[in-house]
Amino acid sequence: MAKRIRAEVRNAVHRRIRRKVRGTTERPRLAVYRSLNHIYAQVIDDEKAQTIVAASTTEKTLEARTGGNIDAAKLVGKTIAERALAAGVSRVVFDRGGYLYHGRVRALTDAARAAGLNKDEVVETEAANAEAASPEESDIKEPEAKPKRSKAKNAKGTSAKEEQ
């Protein structure tokens, strides 16, 4: 079996995603890179090959004590959304960079949506979460499970099947 190196696998997944995700002038790409200690986000116009805005935990102005946690990712997401809106970008295509959509990556995107990027997606996700959280209650009750019967034992301590 071939040895799989995590960084090579992530790069392969990222290349596969990049074949499908393309940033345009109207809807640029929000690219995320995360290291162990920091997280970085850029809004990129792929048609012009130009970075519009960027934010990361390495910036002194963000005042993040550490960059390798969810709180720092939320701060970067809020900052990137504010900067993108100031630059005239209200809708983006999200590029998770080969990382799973979980943890810091998800926190960054959720914070960016909450700060105003892709407002229509916020409404859709809130509606989906509301439906999942409160399933429709119906009048039909599920029948309760029947209690288990214990095997009757005779006076000797053996069950009826064992005697046969």
Residue 18 tokens, joined: 């990049």
Q: Exposed, middle or buried by CB within 10 Å (0-12, 13-18, 19+), for 107?
A: buried
How many whole angstroms separate alpha carbon 40 and alpha carbon 105? 10
Summarize pLDDT for 113-160 with one digit per residue, the tens. Answer: 999 998 877 666 666 666 667 655 445 566 677 777 777 666 666 655
User: Among 15-29, 68-82, 106-120, 142-156, which is the least confidently predicted range?
Assistant: 142-156
pLDDT, greater one: 33 or 21: 33
What domains appear along the chain, each with residue ranges and CATH number?
Answer: 6-123 (3.30.420.100)
Looking at the DSSP bridge assignments, the partners of residue 41 are 32, 55
How many whole angstroms separate alpha carbon 98 and alpha carbon 102? 12
Residue 94 tokens, joined: 């999200």
Contact by Cβ (8 Å): 25, 46: no
Pick from 12, 28, 4: which is nearest to 98 by CA?
A: 12
